[in-house]
Amino acid sequence: MAPPAEQRGSAAHVLELVASGAVASRADLVRELGLAASTVSARVQELVDLGLLAEDGEGTSRGGRRPRLLRIPDDGAVALAVDLGSHHVRLGAVTRTGAASDTEEHAYDLTEGPEPTLELLAGRLSGLAARQRAAGRTVRGVGIGFPGPVDPDTGRVVAPARMPGWHLYELRDRLAERAGLPVLVDNDANVMALGEHAAVHPELQHLVLVKAGRGIGSGVISHGRVYRGAGGAAGDISHVRVEAAAERPCSCGNIGCLETVASGAALVVALRERGVPVAGAADILRLVRDGEPEATTLVRQAGRHIGTVLSVVVNFFNPQAVLLGGALAEAEPMVAAVRAMLYERCLPMTTGQLTIAAASSGPDAGLLGAGRLALRELVP
């Protein structure tokens, strides 16, 4: 059932199926891929020889010979992963088995421009790489989720709002040079969507992941692949005009955007206006967990706004799942409000089979996606 990343039965496809647990033996692969047993056997043998796949004992018989189980071996390869936010950066190492380790998070300001960011990343990554190597691991490369539009072919940042100096910055090449490692960059929501899809819902063909943090972004998986649209800008929902935002000016230069009423940044401002002192999304989360009424109401209201916009997306795109990621998705009222709006506003035909849930890989979702991206693209 899993959708082909490249082609049916390609190395990447086989590895993904095994990694996600969708298949456990050669016979499973035959059923899943629809290829001849001989073909599957040859392909698997190849991957075993390369060390990308391993045999792991035998399973239980289903009335005949026991299957020889397959698993993704931890071959010691890691990708360094970076989840870049506008006011924080999270780093870690990700193995082929999909585990994040050695994670660290730093506060800092992306709007200070690309050079300080490059400096910070290069420093942290070099430390991370050294520690990983000392632990006997091979560092394959770096995967980055960036909170703005990225051209994934060139690894350049494109026209981000509110980030002076970043336009057309060659983040990939600059960092690759500094770090001495291959680097891959993509939009943060895309990266998170990729990670959630591969790790949690590999059987789904079409899903939307909304990243609700300081800003709002979304990553789209269509036919099992990241959908980018004509100009690589697909998935933007934060600059949709909503009634409640009225004439509020937005960083994009327009007015009334969703972002101005439903983003983490907007909630921080709104809470401060109401006399509730908060510094960031983490504070909001804490208040919501403690049942602080102002914060809870605002988060729920933000969820309604996001749900309103998503209802159009769901009717139009008819996905199998809407996943909510980012800091705000950890607040229950946010998820509940989105769910309520979608069930109320969308056609029964589209919501009948629709999963609406918080992203299940939690705070490391972006990290895992970025790591997976790098490990996938940089096959041995």
- 22 or 99: CB nearest DNA: 22
Neighbours of 64 (CB within 10 A): 7
**Contact between 66 and DNA per CB under 7 A:** yes
For the chain, helix, strand, coil in percent to 5 are 45, 20, 35
Contact 188, 226 (CB under 8 A): no
CA angle centred on 321, ends 318 and 322, rounded to 5°:
95
In the chain, where do the E strands start and end? 54-58, 68-71, 77-84, 88-95, 100-107, 138-146, 150-151, 156-157, 183-187, 207-212, 216-222, 225-226, 321-325, 355-358
Euclidean distance between CA atoms 23 and 36, whole angstroms? 16
**Candidate residues 4, 12, 22, 27; the one interacting with DNA per rule CB under 7 A:** 27
Site string for DNA, 90-129 (x = CB under 7 A): ----------------------------------------
Four-point Cα dihedral 281, 270, 191, 83, nearest 10:
-40
- 39 or 254: CB nearest DNA: 39
Tokens, residue 324: 């909510």
- 42 or 269: CB nearest DNA: 42
Site string for its own copies, 131-170 (x = CB under 8 A): ------------------x--------xx-----------
**Candidate residues 178, 320, 340, 357; the one interacting with its own copies per rule CB under 8 A:** 320
Euclidean distance between CA atoms 274 and 271, whole angstroms? 5
Range 5-24, binding DNA (CB under 7 A): 7, 9
**Contact between 68 and its own copies per CB under 8 A:** no
- 48 or 357: CB nearest DNA: 48
Range 31-50, binding DNA (CB under 7 A): 34-39, 41-45
Interface contacts to DNA, rule CB under 7 A: 7, 9, 25-28, 34-39, 41-45, 61-68
Please give the residue ranges that form the binding site for its own copies (CB under 8 A). 149, 158-159, 205-206, 218, 220, 222-223, 227-237, 239-241, 243, 252, 254, 308-309, 311-313, 315-320, 345-350, 352-354
